[in-house]
């Protein structure tokens, strides 16, 4: 009878997941948490964080802390901030986290192995308890109030506000998307007291941030303060004892969740999320060019970055991938290394960082080639022009690592291959693989456990429970089937409301017609469509862009919209949804309170003070830098102008209308198939007119014009002329070079600075040095020669360090 009762209890426990959950605020001495009971969760007083067993895959759990506000589904879409056992997941059965009477917290796997412990001991007569603070810190405290252990002292890949990084702690990235094991990237204070990012791979390790060729002070870091302390505050300001200071682009806003995470891709990013917003946005990042991160592709391979695919690796000619599933092992030669006659294959605009056999300045190509031929160890050489001295440098390479190709790099690589090697053969084997989006793989815990001794009663109980469990599973399956059928029917009924993969909404045309009161209130025009103000049924104010009739097919439109919808940045306008029905193509955006920069600049009231203007310049640069180099895609804007820079309530700029022109990949850029002139008179780069290849530098140019316009207060399209004896603003004959030259001349003569040139509305209230810096950058951006213009991420750097 007893055993029957027990088995009933056991079978009820199987039903536990169906019961509503009640989480704990603290774990007392002698109690434990178990993965078998999903309600065994510690929550922080305000509910922002939860700690508990987090499913990593089928039957594999980690004890973790995650953001639980807004509500998320563990194992599905929660953001983890800390893990006790990232490298040793535990079984879903009979594992537990136990706070022992001695004051030690122990995590056991299947009641057999201890995989993790705090190794703490309570003083005699004192009791201890485990609690989760509202800051996300999990701590063990005794009854005297002493903290015996806290998770903030052993971060994994994430730093939360108020969590210090010290000389004892470091961040280690996770291994891959969806794989939380320790990965190859580390963020910590180096021996010289400087915070760095390190790639620590199978065979080598190398620093890649700050740029390894800069000495610390060039990178703005100090080596003198050995206290080694860094922290991010709740307003979004990160400051470190090595003088590294940065702040999030939404600095100062409170009630925002923030985290600094070292991603599996090796980039360090600061993320923000409003309490009710569901997606994290990047508000700062260390590297703007993903392929500059070391160790992306392993030896003898090349990293490249393209839209829709993210980073890809490919083997160099003459090399084959070593391990077909893992690029970190790189490629191995498929030719005979001991051959005699060698030749070189050029690889333009490519860089392989490190592993130089030698550094030979001022060499001719022939000399460099000979140098590499003479050395058995030479695998190829880097031949690079140095602007500052006007000659070529030669770097024979012992190994070809950290390879990437970027149009901005002013040098080529020559790969050494035997003459006998048939190059046309290898071309076929040149393959690509998507790196950043590995297929989601289900993960089974592989570990052998000792079999338990089973006696008759237990056998009977297990048998009984299995039968009960079977019945239960069958009924659950039935219910689920019914629910599934019902939801299927609903889906069919509600076609047109399908969510696309990224989660933003597909609206029906009727819905948007209603929201905009039949396209009643027009708020803008241009960029291939008209923009209307509207309000959704949930009260959100929206801007709806109705695209002019296009012949674009639905599939193509969906693909583009999906891409644009994935771009998340503080300084890019957020897209909430779209509509594609018959010939109608509409885009739904958040509505911006203060309209566009153009509106504000043309209004006579002095809405913008110097600080606001500087922030607009910086924010716009950040948004564009994000579009160009990083994130998921590589997008050129092609129509940067004040009309496309929108301002929110706090005058933070948000770039709009991006991605509409065309999504480009690098291959296409070089094809220059981009022949139709885009952009707006006055802001258009000379490349458009002279039919030169279109690169991201066209946006840099337009950006420069916008900044000059903001600073001088003069539009490139308008001028003052005497008309009938009265000074009037008129449309000027279009002379972009003259406009730029004039601005330049005036701005360069320092004397006039305090005079009329700088927008009189600023009334001299500007910081002189910042102003000089901004103007200097803007003038470089409008250089006629596109190679002389900085990249958007360089602009951001320079504006930040003024």
Site for ligand NAG in 353-372 (CB under 6 A): 362
- Using the contact rule CB under 6 A, the part of the chain among 223-231, 401-409, 448-456, 604-612 near ligand NAG is 223-231
Of the candidates 419, 383, 791, 428, the one whose C-alpha atom is nearest the C-alpha of residue 624 is: 791
Is residue 239 near ligand NAG by the rule CB under 6 A? yes
Give dist(CA 151, CA 64) in Å, integer.
10
Assign 335 to helix, strand or coil.
coil
- Positive/negative CA dihedral, 293, 286, 561, 661: negative
Q: Choose which of 114, 227, 721, 748 interacts with ligand NAG (CB under 6 A).
A: 227
- Using the contact rule CB under 6 A, the part of the chain among 64-72, 332-340, 493-501, 785-793 near ligand NAG is 64-72
* Nearby residues of 93 by Cβ (< 8 Å), 6 or more positions away: 35, 36, 59, 110
Is residue 343 near ligand NAG by the rule CB under 6 A? no
Give dist(CA 130, CA 151) in Å, integer.
11
Distance of closest approach, residue 221 Cβ to ligand NAG, in angstroms: 12
Is residue 594 near ligand NAG by the rule CB under 6 A? no
Let me know: does 793 contact 628? Beta carbons within 8 Å.
yes
Is residue 281 near ligand NAG by the rule CB under 6 A? yes
With respect to ligand NAG, which residue has the nearer C-beta, 441 or 749? 441
Site for ligand NAG in 316-335 (CB under 6 A): none
32 membership: H or E segment, kind and range: strand 32-33
Is residue 175 near ligand NAG by the rule CB under 6 A? yes
Is residue 500 near ligand NAG by the rule CB under 6 A? no
Neighbours of 1 (CB within 10 A): 5
**Whether 639 is catalytic:** yes
Q: Give the pairing type, strands 26-28 and 237-240.
A: unpaired
Of the candidates 669, 673, 727, the one whose C-alpha atom is nearest the C-alpha of residue 699 is: 669
Locate 71 and state its tokens.
């509500």
Task: List the alpha helices (DSSP H) in 222-303.
Answer: none
Assign 461 to helix, strand or coil.
helix
What is the per-residue binding string for ligand NAG in 647-676, x denoting contact by CB under 6 A?
------------------------------
Distance of closest approach, residue 391 Cβ to ligand NAG, in angstroms: 5
Is residue 417 near ligand NAG by the rule CB under 6 A? no
Let me know: does 664 contact 674? Beta carbons within 8 Å.
yes
- Using the contact rule CB under 6 A, the part of the chain among 116-124, 206-214, 269-277, 406-414 near ligand NAG is 269-277
Distance of closest approach, residue 103 Cβ to ligand NAG, in angstroms: 32
Q: Choose which of 11, 179, 206, 343 interacts with ligand NAG (CB under 6 A).
A: 179
Of the candidates 637, 543, 644, 640, the one whose C-alpha atom is nearest the C-alpha of residue 597 is: 644
* Nearby residues of 752 by Cβ (< 8 Å), 6 or more positions away: 746
The count of chain residues that interact with ligand NAG, using the rule CB under 6 A, is 36
CA distances from 509 to 491, 560, 582 (A): 18, 19, 9
Is residue 424 near ligand NAG by the rule CB under 6 A? yes
With respect to ligand NAG, which residue has the nearer C-beta, 593 or 756? 593
With respect to ligand NAG, which residue has the nearer C-beta, 225 or 550? 225
- Using the contact rule CB under 6 A, the part of the chain among 202-210, 225-233, 620-628, 666-674 near ligand NAG is 225-233
- Residue keyed to tokens 């860094």: 230
Distance of closest approach, residue 665 Cβ to ligand NAG, in angstroms: 28
- Using the contact rule CB under 6 A, the part of the chain among 10-18, 421-429, 714-722, 769-777 near ligand NAG is 421-429
With respect to ligand NAG, which residue has the nearer C-beta, 441 or 488? 441
Q: Choose which of 70, 307, 438, 719 interacts with ligand NAG (CB under 6 A).
A: 70
Q: Choose which of 324, 422, 475, 749 interacts with ligand NAG (CB under 6 A).
A: 422
Catalytic residue of the set 157, 639, 699, 759: 639
Q: Which long-range contacts (CB under 8 A, 24 or more apart) does 135-143 make?
A: 135/44, 135/160, 135/161, 135/162, 135/163, 136/44, 136/48, 136/49, 136/65, 136/67, 136/81, 136/82, 136/160, 136/163, 137/163, 138/42, 138/51, 138/65, 138/82, 140/99, 140/103, 140/105, 142/103
Give dist(CA 363, CA 366) in Å, integer.
8
CA distances from 726 to 542, 617, 713, 720, 733 (A): 42, 34, 20, 10, 19
* Nearby residues of 618 by Cβ (< 8 Å), 6 or more positions away: 796, 799, 800
With respect to ligand NAG, which residue has the nearer C-beta, 505 or 668? 505
With respect to ligand NAG, which residue has the nearer C-beta, 27 or 62? 62
- Using the contact rule CB under 6 A, the part of the chain among 3-11, 266-274, 542-550, 740-748 near ligand NAG is 266-274
Of the candidates 633, 522, 534, the one whose C-alpha atom is nearest the C-alpha of residue 579 is: 534
Is residue 229 near ligand NAG by the rule CB under 6 A? yes
With respect to ligand NAG, which residue has the nearer C-beta, 552 or 802? 802
Give dist(CA 480, CA 527) in Å, integer.
48
> What residues does 635 pair with on adjacent strands?
663
With respect to ligand NAG, which residue has the nearer C-beta, 329 or 766? 329
Distance of closest approach, residue 664 Cβ to ligand NAG, in angstroms: 27
- Using the contact rule CB under 6 A, the part of the chain among 191-199, 250-258, 378-386, 783-791 near ligand NAG is 250-258
Give dist(CA 265, CA 281) in Å, integer.
17
Let me know: does 354 contact 321? Beta carbons within 8 Å.
no
Distance of closest approach, residue 183 Cβ to ligand NAG, in angstroms: 8
Is residue 92 near ligand NAG by the rule CB under 6 A? no
Is residue 247 near ligand NAG by the rule CB under 6 A? yes
- Using the contact rule CB under 6 A, the part of the chain among 99-107, 276-284, 525-533, 731-739 near ligand NAG is 276-284
Is residue 225 near ligand NAG by the rule CB under 6 A? yes
Give dist(CA 758, CA 746) in Å, integer.
9
Is residue 715 near ligand NAG by the rule CB under 6 A? no
With respect to ligand NAG, which residue has the nearer C-beta, 274 or 528? 274
- Residue keyed to tokens 């693909």: 559
The values of phi and psi at residue 557, to 5°, are -60, -45
Give dist(CA 354, CA 401) in Å, integer.
7
CA distances from 321 to 175, 317, 403, 435 (A): 20, 11, 15, 14
Q: Choose which of 4, 245, 437, 471 interacts with ligand NAG (CB under 6 A).
A: 245
Is position 745 annotated in a ligand binding site?
Answer: no
Q: Choose which of 113, 129, 342, 443 interacts with ligand NAG (CB under 6 A).
A: 443
* Catalytic residue annotation: 639
Applying CB under 6 A, the residues found at the interface with ligand NAG are: 56-57, 70-73, 77, 175, 179, 181, 225, 227, 229, 237, 239, 241, 245, 247, 250-251, 256, 272-274, 277-278, 281, 362, 389, 391, 422, 424-425, 441, 443, 590
Q: Residues marked as binding for ATP?
A: 545
């Amino acid at each position: 009878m007893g055993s029957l009762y027990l088995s009933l209890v056991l079978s009820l426990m199987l039903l536990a997941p169906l019961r509503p959950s009640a989480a704990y605020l603290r774990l007392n001495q002698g109690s434990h948490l178990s993965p078998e009971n999903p309600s065994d969760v510690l929550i922080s007083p305000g509910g922002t964080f939860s700690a508990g067993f987090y499913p990593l895959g089928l039957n594999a759990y980690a004890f973790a802390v995650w953001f639980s506000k807004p509500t998320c589904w563990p194992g599905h879409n929660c953001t983890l901030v800390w893990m006790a056992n990232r490298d040793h997941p535990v079984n879903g059965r009979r594992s537990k986290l136990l706070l022992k009477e001695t004051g030690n917290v122990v995590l056991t796997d299947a009641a057999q192995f201890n995989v993790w412990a705090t190794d703490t001991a309570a003083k005699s007569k004192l009791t201890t308890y485990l609690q989760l603070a509202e800051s996300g810190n999990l701590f063990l405290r005794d009854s005297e109030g002493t903290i015996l252990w806290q998770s903030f002292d052993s971060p994994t890949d994430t730093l939360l506000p108020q969590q210090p990084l010290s000389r004892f702690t470091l961040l280690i990235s996770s291994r891959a998307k969806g794989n939380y094991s320790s990965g190859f990237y580390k963020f910590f204070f180096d021996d010289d007291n400087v915070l760095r990012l390190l790639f620590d791979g199978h065979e080598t390790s190398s620093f890649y941030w700050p740029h390894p060729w800069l000495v610390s002070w060039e990178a703005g870091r100090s080596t003198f303060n050995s206290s080694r302390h860094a922290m991010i505050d709740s307003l979004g300001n990160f400051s470190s004892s090595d003088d590294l200071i940065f702040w999030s682009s939404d600095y100062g806003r409170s009630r925002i969740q923030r985290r600094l995470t070292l991603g599996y891709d090796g980039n360090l990013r600061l993320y923000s999320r409003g309490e009710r917003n569901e997606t994290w946005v990047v508000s700062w990042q260390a590297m703007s060019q993903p392929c500059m991160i070391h160790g992306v592709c392993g030896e003898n391979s090349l990293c490249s970055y393209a839209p829709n695919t993210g980073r890809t690796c490919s083997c160099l000619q003459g090399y084959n991938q070593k391990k077909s599933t893992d690029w970190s092992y790189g490629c191995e030669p498929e030719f005979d290394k001991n051959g005699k006659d060698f030749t070189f294959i050029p690889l333009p605009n490519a860089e392989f960082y490190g592993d130089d056999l030698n550094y030979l300045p001022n060499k001719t190509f022939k000399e460099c080639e000979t140098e590499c031929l003479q050395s058995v160890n030479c695998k190829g050489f880097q031949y690079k022009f140095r602007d500052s001295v006007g000659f070529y440098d030669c770097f024979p390479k012992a190994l070809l690592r950290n390879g990437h190709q970027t149009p901005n790099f002013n040098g080529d690589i020559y790969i050494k291959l035997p003459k006998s090697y048939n190059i046309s053969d290898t071309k076929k084997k040149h393959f690509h693989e998507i790196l950043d989006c590995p297929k989601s793989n289900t993960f089974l815990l592989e570990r052998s456990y000792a079999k338990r001794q089973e006696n008759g009663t237990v056998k009977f109980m297990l048998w009984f429970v299995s039968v009960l469990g079977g019945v239960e599973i069958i009924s659950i399956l039935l219910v689920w089937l019914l629910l599934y059928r019902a939801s299927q029917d609903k889906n069919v009924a509600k076609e047109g409301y399908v969510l696309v993969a990224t989660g933003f909404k597909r609206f029906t045309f009727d819905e948007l017609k209603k929201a905009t009161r039949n396209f009643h209130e027009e708020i803008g025009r241009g960029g291939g469509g008209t923009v209307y103000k509207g309000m959704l049924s949930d009260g959100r104010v929206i801007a709806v862009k109705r695209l002019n009739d296009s012949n674009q097919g639905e599939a193509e439109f969906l693909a583009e919209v999906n891409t644009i919808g994935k771009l998340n940045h503080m300084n890019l306008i957020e897209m909430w949804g779209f509509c594609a029905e018959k010939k109608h193509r509409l885009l739904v955006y958040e509505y911006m309170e203060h309209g566009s920069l153009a509106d504000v600049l043309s209004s006579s009231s002095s809405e913008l003070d110097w600080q606001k203007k500087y922030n607009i310049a910086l924010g716009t640069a950040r948004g564009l830098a994000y579009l160009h180099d990083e994130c998921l895609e590589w997008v050129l804007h092609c129509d940067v102008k004040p009309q496309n820079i929108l301002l929110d309530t706090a005058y933070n700029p948000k770039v709009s209308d991006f991605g509409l022109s065309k999504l480009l990949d690098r291959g296409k850029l070089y094809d220059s198939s981009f022949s139709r002139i885009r952009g707006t008179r006055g802001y258009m780069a000379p490349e458009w007119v002279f039919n030169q290849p279109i690169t991201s530098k066209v946006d840099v140019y337009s950006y420069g014009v916008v900044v000059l316009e903001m600073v001088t207060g003069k539009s490139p399209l308008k001028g003052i002329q005497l008309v009938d004896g009265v000074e009037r603003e008129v449309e000027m004959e279009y002379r972009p070079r003259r406009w730029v030259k004039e601005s330049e001349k005036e701005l360069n003569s320092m004397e006039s600075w305090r005079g009329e040139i700088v927008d009189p509305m600023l009334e001299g209230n500007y910081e002189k040095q910042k102003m000089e810096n901004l103007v200097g950058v803007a003038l470089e951006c409008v250089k006629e020669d596109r190679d002389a213009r900085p990249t958007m991420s360089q602009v951001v750097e320079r504006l930040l360090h003024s």
